[in-house]
Amino acid sequence: MTKKQHIESDAVRSDYALMQVTLTLAVESYVCDDHIAQMHESAIESVLDRFADSHLGDNIIVLHSDFTPLTLSKQAQS
């Protein structure tokens, strides 16, 4: 690191370390066949509730969240 790079990085120093964390989660859900369309919404609520109830403290700030529903399918066997 050159002296100039060091000075520039000190100028934008923050009390927070920024990071992006990617998790792929399987969330157990108890929905009947009539409400299968709401399964992912229910799972998202469950995950957000767990984060809210956890002991992350006030020193972690979620700046962005993005939930992408995934589906599993059985592979056809020949």
Residue 18 in 3-state DSSP?
A: coil
Q: How big is the chain, counted in residues?
A: 78
**Domain assignments of the chain as residue spans, ordered by start:** 27-60
Residue given tokens 């059985």 in the structure block: 74
3-state helix, strand, coil in the chain (%, to 5): 40, 0, 60
> Exposed, middle or buried by CB within 10 Å (0-12, 13-18, 19+), for 31?
middle
Cβ proximity of 45 and 27 under 8 Å: no
pLDDT at 57: 64
Predicted TM-score of the model (pTM): 0.59
pLDDT at 56: 66
Cα–Cα dist 42/76, whole Å? 29
- pLDDT by 10s per residue, the chain, length 78: 555 555 555 555 678 888 888 989 999 888 888 888 888 998 998 888 887 777 666 677 778 888 998 887 878 877
